[in-house]
Structure formats: C-alpha cells, structure tokens
Structure 1
Amino acid sequence: MRGTRVDRRTFGRLIGAAGAGTLTGGALAAAPVRAAAPTWKTSGTTVTALKSFDDTMKSFMQARNISAGQLAVTHQGRLVLARGYSYSDDPAQTVAPTSLFRIASLSKSVTAAALARLAQDGAVALGTPVASLLDLTPPAGRTADPRLSRVTLWHLLQHTGGWDRTLAFDPNFADRTISQALGVPMELYPADVIRYMSGQPLQHDPGTTVAYSNFGYQLAGRVIEAVSGLPYATYVQQKLFAPLGISRMAQGWSIAPHSGEVHYRSQYTGPTVLNGTGATVAAPYGTFSMRLQDANGGWIASAVDLVRWASAFDAAGPVLNSTSLGRVWATPAGIGVNPSGWYYGLGWRVRPVTTGGTGRNTWHTGSLPGTYSLVVRTYQGRSWAVLFNQRDDASALSYDDIDSLLWAASAKVTAWPTGNLYPTYF
C-alpha cells in the first residue's frame, strides 16, 4: 500500500490486518473445524420494516459459517435496529445485542478523537513533533532516522508518518524479532516496540505518503498518556465514553474473556507470543498480543456501543466541538483526496459526496484473527456497525462484501421506523 495509489477494496482488506504469517512470525497451521450442523438464532427486537438487514446477516453468516454476529443501525440519530445473531452447533450460545466483540482497527477512531480532544482542551497541538513528547531513543548500536524528529501528531493519525509495512514490516506483530533484538522476554510491552522502532528507518519522508500504520497509532496512545497524565484507557473512558453514556467498551485481553464477550474462531493455530515457550495456540488466543494493540486495535464493544460512539461525529457535542470535527475530517496536507475519491482523516476513511447530495460517507474496518468489524456513517444521516467473531483467513468468500450488502439492505427500506431503541441499551 504505497502512497494513495490503492483502491478501496484493497485498502479495506489491508486496514487493520497484518496477514496470517506475519502475525506469528511464520506459517500458521490449519486448526480442526467441527462438522456438527449449526442452528440459526437471533436476539433483540424484530423490526419488520428492516427485514432486509436481518436477511442480509443470515445469508452472509450462513454462507461463511460464522458462528457469532451483531448489527446495530441508526436513522437520523435514533437507534432503530439492534440484533445479535448466532449460527452455531452449540445450543447454549446466544449472541445478545450487547455481547462484546474485539473491534480491532475501529479503535483508531477512538485514539484519534482522544488526541483531538486534548488539542481542543489546549493540552497539545496536533502539529507537535512526537519526539518532543516521547522518548524515542534507539537501542544501543542503532541510530535514529533523522526524519523521525519531523513526525507530528497529524502524521500519526493520518498514516503519513513515514512507516510503510508493505515495504518493511508491522512491528506490532513482530514480537519475536523485537524480543530477540532487545533481549527482553515476551509478552512485549508497547515501550519495547517503541524502543526498537526508534532505531529503524522510515520508508517515506513524513507527510508525503499515506501508508497504513498500526505503529503510528500505538505512538499516539503513548502521547495521550504523556499529555493527559492518565493511562490511555482511563482517559478515553472518562473524556470520550462517559459523556456519551458508553460504559461497556473496554480494553480486550489476549486470553481470558470479559463478561459477555464472544468466543473467537479461526481455522489457524500458531506459536504463542505471550511467552517464550513457542506453544501452539488457537490463532485468536495468543498468536498476537492484545497488550500491543491497545491504541490501534485493542477495544472491545457491542454494535450498539459503536453506533453510539459514531454519533459523536455527527455534530458538535459533549466530546468534540466544531473545530475538532473539522480536524477529524481534514484531508492530509499536501496529499488530499486519492484517485479513488476518498482519503484518510483522523481515524476514519472519508469519501466526500457531491453528486445527489452533499456531505461525506465515513467508515472503517477492523481485522484480527477471530475478528472482522465495520462501522459506516452515511451522508443521509444513517449509520451501522457490524461485528463478527471470525474473519476470511482463507475463505473463498470475502468478508469485505458485507459493506456493499449492508448498503443494499439500507436501500431496500421503504419506511424507516420512528421509534428509538437507545433507552433500552443506555
């Protein structure tokens, strides 16, 4: 993914994903798959006018044998659909509208908003160089790239910091390499990754090329801690989630689930990065470290939480004022809109809409072993969030198709409900 010369579908498959082999430092072995016949179950209020969404989720999940899914839909600021879906051979499994899923790179909108809020409060300027806020001293025997001193907070949040995993590697999934280079044990801490990367070269001059960077968002999380004086998650929960009434969202764990969290599935296994034993584990449970994902992909949430979160970007409110929203939707300086008609703002992909209306469509996808997620905000005043407990690791059927399918489901609605389900869940 070099510069802005990547189409929407390709970027969608790359965004938030590292590739199965990269995640474990080598090839992943296929895990056994149970063959018992699954049954279909739903939860939440059935809304006849929105049957097209239920039908889409059922056909999509059954075609891919997805055992747990969730969908929430809003219209003009009202929650009109909140559903859990189960397609499982376990008769005890029920996915509720408030069940929790790892959301992977949907977390980036949270981290970007946190820095925008700190700038709004006068605690930091987004043009501040990262090196003036964090210790970026390289390991002994390594030299910092002189361009590192020019990387700003804007660059981190718009993926223009100069790191390019397609030309090098993604350090958030290079646990063994970093452990061996620094002589530190696994499980790694973010500080280990930052120290290692402080001695690695950039692939581009800062501010010249859009190249998706999980590491940039990991740095952003540490900046939030340095500026606010609070742990990353604490700042987010106090300043961003609490004003919106969001209390379920939390940082996910590598192994033990939170109460109400779904089980993640993958056909793959691989060696753990949670210690140095090299033990083989299921891909979602230890082939990557949730500790390293915190600011770039570490949150868990329900779909209703995510559309509530997305509502913070509809208009100035208790989280972000109009100046901050302008920063969120700003195009990367000197780069602008790419040839496919969209750009990366602060934690969101943005497509300006000028034909048949004005405004913007904004969205983000997320992907980890055992996780696929998508949030969409439309210029017509609708939004939806969809979550699954597995991803298309080697499936012939793309999970990216859920994007166009949900747009099609929305287009089939002839009369939108007038009620509001938000009071049921908040």
Structure 2
Amino acid sequence: MQRIRTSRRTFGRLAGTAGLGALAGGVLVGSPSVAAPTWRVTGRSAASLQPFDDAMRGFMQARDIPAGQLAVTYQGRLVLARGYTYSEDAGLTVQPTSLFRVASVSKSVTAAAVATLAQDGKLGLTTPVTSLINLVPPAGQQLDPRMSQVTMSRLLQHTGGWDRSLSGDPMFMDRTISRALGVPMELHLADVVRYMSGRPLDFAPGSRVAYSNYGYGLARQVIEKVSGLPYASYVQQRLFAPLGITRMKLAWSVAPLTGEVPYRSQYTGTTVLNETGDTVPAPYGAFSMRLQEGNGRWAASAVDLARWAAAFDAAGPVFDNSSLSRIFARPEVGVNPSGWYYGLGWQVRPVSGGTGRNTWHTGSLPGTSTLLVRGSNGLSFVALFNQRDDASGLSYSTIDPDLWAASRRVTSWPSHNLFPSYF
C-alpha cells in the first residue's frame, strides 16, 4: 500500500501545530518559503488521458491547492489513478492511495447501509424511524407527533421535516446543544439526537425537500440499532469487505489516519473539541468530525471511491437489482424542474429518454472539497482536494464541468484496468 509522506513540518504548517506553523490574520501560513511550489504527479494513466492531468493542474494551481487526487473509470475499468501535489514542501507527496476526508460523499455509504438492511429483511424503507429507535427528548420537552411519519426513505431523501435554513444545522450547533443539555464538548451524536428529539419539525414529513445532515446522523443511529454492530463495523463488513475496500476509515478532527493528507483553510474558528475556547485552524476542531458520522465522516482515496461507485453499476456482492432500483428511484416529492432529484444517498438525473442516468454527490467541509460522478456513458470519476476555500475567490464546483470537458478531449480510451493494482 502506498502511503503519503507527511513530515512533521508539513503537518504543522497546514494544521497549525505549535512551533511548526503559524496563524496570521486567519490565514494558515508556514515558514517563509525558500522555493516556489512545484507540481508533482504520482500514479498511472495513459498518454491519451493527458486532458485529465491538465484539468487538475489548472484547477489546483489557480486556487493554490496543495493536495489533490483523481480516479477515472471507463466501461468498468480503472484507467487513471493519480495523486497531485502543488507545494514547495518535498515532505508532502500525494499518492493515489492517500486518504482524504470525503465529507458528504459519505452519504452514499450510509444510504447503502440502510438499503442492505432492507435487502436483508431487517427493516423496511417505509418503516417509521420511531419504530426502529427510541427517541427521548430532554426533560420537559415533547417529541413532535409528526415524527411517526418520518420513514427511512424520507430520512435518506431529505424529506424528513428538518430545514437547516430555518432552524440551523444541528451537526454544527455544538455550543447551543452543549448549553441546552448541560453536557461538555466534545459532543456525541447521541447528544444531538436527544436535543433534536425535543425540537419541532420545520415541515410535514414527505411534503418537500430540504437537505439535512441530521437525517443521515439519525440513519446512522438506526443502522447501529438494527444491525447490532457499530456503524463503521457494519459498513466495513457488509459493504466494503465484499468489494475489497480496506483503506476507507472514519476520520478524526485532529489525529490523522495513516496516509491521510493534511488540510488547509484560510479560516480559523473556536474549537468545539473542548471548553478551552482556543482558536484553531478551521479543519482541525472548528467542527467535530465525530458528529459527522453518518453524514460526512469517511476518509478514502479516489481509487477506493471509484471501486465503491462501480458497485452501483450492476447487481453483485453488495446489492441485488431490487436494492439498486430503490436507491435510484424517484422520490415522492422533490424532482427538480431540470429533471434531477435526490435518491437514496445520490443525486440522480435521468438521461437518454429515461433509459439511463447520471448520478453524483459532492462533499464540502473546511479543508475538504470532493466530487463523485457516475455517468450513463460508462465514464465515472472521483476528484478529491484538501482545501475548499482560498484567497482567489474562484468556485470549486467548476471541477465538474472541467473534468467532463477533459473527457471530451480524449480521442482514445486505454484498454488497461488498474483496479487489480489497488484491490
């Protein structure tokens, strides 16, 4: 297994470790540079796929992104697996197997876990959440009676009744919840669930769509209760092991996993990992990774996610055809005017007269920007970055059209398959 070479100097510079990096004006900086950033590429590809390398280089250099990764599959074959480094620090070398926090791309994993529990007859997608787990509000508060209408499919399709634009996102309301419950930080997901069990829903379940990280946190609780296993154990045993995926793990707020890249942001915040009130780099404690379990905590490489995405192409060791149909089925509400909708952990756009579909998900946290795309034309790609903001003000969402444009410049696709090199 290839590993990222992250020196103490590199980690300190990007994570703000005392004595190894400094914070100036809210922007993470390192020791004065003695050399300009250099562009370095690892991994395998083919000459005909140069447009993908060019797209990643242009995107990363314009935004001064130190670490990136790309995996491309075509007709089920892994044809490109790259790590990209744009840094003056030789201690940072991104490999195709380096790990990145993938943020909300994790939702495809949680939804799949629920789908396999349904496939195995352990729950139903129309089963109310309140029939599967016991939701106990704080003393003196009541559970919204409409919670009996929140089914598993509504949780996963973001129609459960929570609207973060109205009542906030509880996965990032650590201090509010800490004070309300009288518990210290760092919070546990169970604290968030208890707090939310005493709050009214923002709308009637099933009546409209509102993206909800909390819904996926609640789905995580269901997975543990129904499976009888810790969330990560169930996912690794039931979903990842049959696919040969061994690198994907739950990320932490500060301690890096082996082979994990460091993260960078121009912003700082007050830590939610304890009560000290310390100012920290945004990716390292301004939010709690522990609370994101279910909605955004997985760390993976692009090749891992390419392998994961391929599991949705046809029935196999994880999903049967009925499960795949349910994962991508149209919801009861929420079809966008342009035709796309949110299925179970995936955004879905029917194409080719309804006979095919493009599916995708993005991820975003301080220090993280990710994209996973499955195309109806046999092309899929995964792009991961260790930064989501910078002084340029440029959008990070343009990587999607950039990579589609790169694919149209490919005149011939290689016949090789790199999957056996990584699994």
The normalised TM-score by structure 2 is: 0.92
**TM-aligned CA deviation for residue 93 of structure 1:** 1.1
Matches of 1:341 and 1:200 in 2, distance apart?
33
Q: For 1:19-418, what aligned pairs fall within 5 Å after superposition?
A: 30-34=26-30, 36=33, 37-333=36-332, 335=333, 337-354=335-352, 358-392=355-389, 395-418=392-415
Deviations 1:118-166 (A, max 9, x none): 0000011011111111121110122222111211101110000010001
**TM-aligned CA deviation for residue 395 of structure 1:** 4.4
Matches of 1:291 and 1:411 in 2, distance apart?
40
**TM-aligned CA deviation for residue 30 of structure 1:** 2.1
Q: 1:336 to 1:370 in 2, by over 3 A?
A: closer
Retained in 1: the 8 A contact 2:28–2:265?
no
**TM-aligned CA deviation for residue 33 of structure 1:** 3.3
Query: Quick one: which amino acid aligns to residue 288 of structure 2?
Result: S
Query: Quick one: which amino acid aligns to residue 186 of structure 1?
Result: M
Matched residue SS, 1:413: coil
Query: Quick one: which amino acid aligns to residue 111 of structure 1?
Result: T
- The match for 1:9 is none
Deviations 1:282-333 (A, max 9, x none): 1101011111011100000000000100011000110010000010011111
Matches of 1:418 and 1:410 in 2, distance apart?
16
Matches of 2:375 and 2:101 in 1, distance apart?
23
Deviations 1:253-275 (A, max 9, x none): 11110110000001111110001
Retained in 2: the 8 A contact 1:71–1:303?
yes
- The match for 2:19 is none
Matched residue SS, 2:141: coil
Matched residue SS, 2:364: strand
Matches of 1:33 and 1:141 in 2, distance apart?
48
Matches of 1:114 and 1:255 in 2, distance apart?
27
Matches of 2:355 and 2:325 in 1, distance apart?
16
**TM-aligned CA deviation for residue 71 of structure 1:** 0.1
- The match for 2:418 is 421
Deviations 1:187-224 (A, max 9, x none): 00010000000011111100111100000000001100
Q: Which runs of 5+ in 1 are unaligned?
A: 1-28
Retained in 2: the 8 A contact 1:72–1:384?
yes
**TM-aligned CA deviation for residue 358 of structure 1:** 3.4
Matches of 2:219 and 2:44 in 1, distance apart?
39
Retained in 2: the 8 A contact 1:111–1:296?
yes
Matched residue SS, 2:59: helix
Number of aligned residue pairs: 397
Q: 1:159 to 1:61 in 2, by over 3 A?
A: same
Matches of 2:391 and 2:143 in 1, distance apart?
38
Retained in 2: the 8 A contact 1:376–1:383?
yes
Matched residue SS, 1:297: coil
Matches of 2:136 and 2:194 in 1, distance apart?
6
- Alpha-carbon RMSD across the aligned residues, in angstroms, is 1.4
Matched residue SS, 1:295: coil
Matched residue SS, 1:43: strand
Q: Which runs of 5+ in 2 are unaligned?
A: 1-24
Matched residue SS, 1:186: coil
Task: Tell me whether 112-121 or 337-346 shows the greater mean CA deviation.
Answer: 337-346
Retained in 2: the 8 A contact 1:358–1:379?
no
Query: Quick one: which amino acid aligns to residue 40 of structure 1?
Result: W
Matched residue SS, 1:296: coil
Matches of 1:32 and 1:191 in 2, distance apart?
33
Matches of 1:328 and 1:46 in 2, distance apart?
32
Retained in 1: the 8 A contact 2:209–2:334?
no
Matches of 1:407 and 1:377 in 2, distance apart?
11
The normalised TM-score by structure 1 is: 0.91
Matches of 2:41 and 2:54 in 1, distance apart?
11
Task: Tell me whether 133-142 or 360-369 shows the greater mean CA deviation.
Answer: 133-142
Matches of 1:377 and 1:83 in 2, distance apart?
18
Matches of 1:82 and 1:38 in 2, distance apart?
22
Matches of 2:58 and 2:392 in 1, distance apart?
16
Q: Percent of counterpart pairs with the same letter?
A: 68
